[in-house]
Every structure is written in structure tokens, then in C-alpha cells.
Amino acid sequence: MERLQQLLRRGLAKTAPLWPEIELAYSWVHRAAHILNNEQGHDVLLIRQEYRGLLAEMAAGRSELGCLAGAVGHFRKVTKSYWGHLFTCYEHPAIPQTNNDLEQCFGSVRYAERRASGRKVAAPGLVVRGRVRLLAAVVSRTVPLGAAELAPRDLARWRELRTELAYRQEGRRRQLRFRRDPAAYLSQLEEHLLQTSLPA
């Protein structure tokens, strides 16, 4: 224990000059999270104003951060890119503040796919048919489905969706053929191109 305490003291002594910069940067990030949590239920205009003030303070105090100045610059740049939609959830209460629930939903579907297929990476079918399979996986967990619910109600839309999925599947097949034998795939493509471009 004494040796461990010595190591900790030595580590803290060597990193002591960095702590004020870390504390300042952390205090800004903590304040940003506090403003966006909006636990007091402030109006969206007040939240925007507070957040703008924090960003201005970060810009003014950036020189005090030493090697962390770049991180603050990146934080401000990312915030600026999201600014147009950052406060939408305060204007429309039905929109959640975070996408954590959505991420958890996607994660549970990926977990179920891995359990069913044994794959550690996303199954090709999930990549190609993701919008259909994800929706089916989520709905089938919450609502018991019977034959009546599975029958398509809008046949034209169903056919359009099937065509779109078949097109994406064909794209994946072509990628696989190219990866297996690029030379043969390209020569076949060239031959087809010449046949269609030559006059009859």
C-alpha cells in the first residue's frame, strides 16, 4: 500500500501543472450539459442565450487551456454544425433530448442478430434490408403479430419496396463478384458495354 501511495503521489505531482486546465475544460463541459438538461424548464430562447454565453466564454478563455485548446475548438465547431437542430427538442416536447433510447433499440436488434447468426459483425441482410428488418424486429417485440397484420395493405407501395430491396441486394451481389475475381468481373462488364454500344 505504501508503494502504491508513493506511485500515486509521484503521478499527481508530475501531472499537477495540467490539472487547472482540465478543471477549467471540465467545468465548461459540465455547464454545457447542465444548460442542455434544462431541469428548470426554461424557455428555449433563454437556453440558447445561456449556451451562446458559454461558447463565448470558452472562446475567450481558450488561451488558458494549453494543450486542451484544440479540444475546445473542436467542441465549438461541432456545436456550430448542430446549432440549427440543437434546441428543437425544447420547442417540440414530443422530440426526445437524446437519441439514447433509439441507440438502445438499435443495439438490442444488433445483439439479437448476433445471437441468431453467430456473426460478430453486422449481417449482410441487416445492411441491405435494414429499414425493413429493424422495423419488424422492434414491432414484433411490442405487438403480437398475426397473418392479418403481416398482409400488405398497399400493394403498390409493397412492390415498390420489394423492387428497392432487390436493387440493393443486386448491388451487394455485384460487390461480392468483384471482390472474388476483379479481372473477370471487369472483363465481363467491358464485354457487356461493348455489346450495348456497338450498332446492330
Identify residue 125 by its one-letter amino acid code.
G
Query: What pLDDT score was predicted for residue 200?
Result: 57
Domain residue limits at 114: 100-151
Instruction: Note the pTM of the prediction, 2 decimals.
Output: 0.55
Query: What pLDDT score was predicted for residue 126?
Result: 67
Instruction: Please check whether residues 54 and 104 belong to one and the same domain.
Output: no
C-alpha cell at 79: 456545436
Query: What pLDDT score was predicted for residue 122?
Result: 67
Query: What pLDDT score was predicted for residue 32?
Result: 92
Give residue for cell 405487438. 143
Instruction: Please check whether residues 46 and 116 belong to one and the same domain.
Output: no
Query: What pLDDT score was predicted for residue 156?
Result: 92
How many domains, the chain? 3
Across the chain, which has 200 residues, the per-10-residue mean pLDDT values are 88 83 89 89 89 92 85 90 86 80 78 77 69 75 78 88 87 89 90 75
- Of the residues 46, 68, 91, which one is the last residue of a structural domain? 91
- Of the residues 135, 151, 167, which one is the last residue of a structural domain? 151
Instruction: Please check whether residues 57 and 87 belong to one and the same domain.
Output: yes
134 by DSSP, 3-state: which?
A: helix
Query: What pLDDT score was predicted for residue 107?
Result: 80
Query: What pLDDT score was predicted for residue 38?
Result: 86
Query: What pLDDT score was predicted for residue 20?
Result: 86
Instruction: Please check whether residues 9 and 87 belong to one and the same domain.
Output: yes
Identify residue 75 by its one-letter amino acid code.
F
Query: What pLDDT score was predicted for residue 28?
Result: 92
- Of the residues 91, 115, 131, which one is the last residue of a structural domain? 91
Instruction: Please check whether residues 121 and 188 belong to one and the same domain.
Output: no
Distance of CA 33 to the CA centre of its chain: 19
Kindly report the backbone phi and psi dihedral angles of residue 176, in degrees, each rounded to the nearest multiple of 5, phi listed first.
-65, -45
Query: What pLDDT score was predicted for residue 53?
Result: 94
Instruction: Please check whether residues 163 and 140 belong to one and the same domain.
Output: no
Instruction: Please check whether residues 134 and 171 belong to one and the same domain.
Output: no
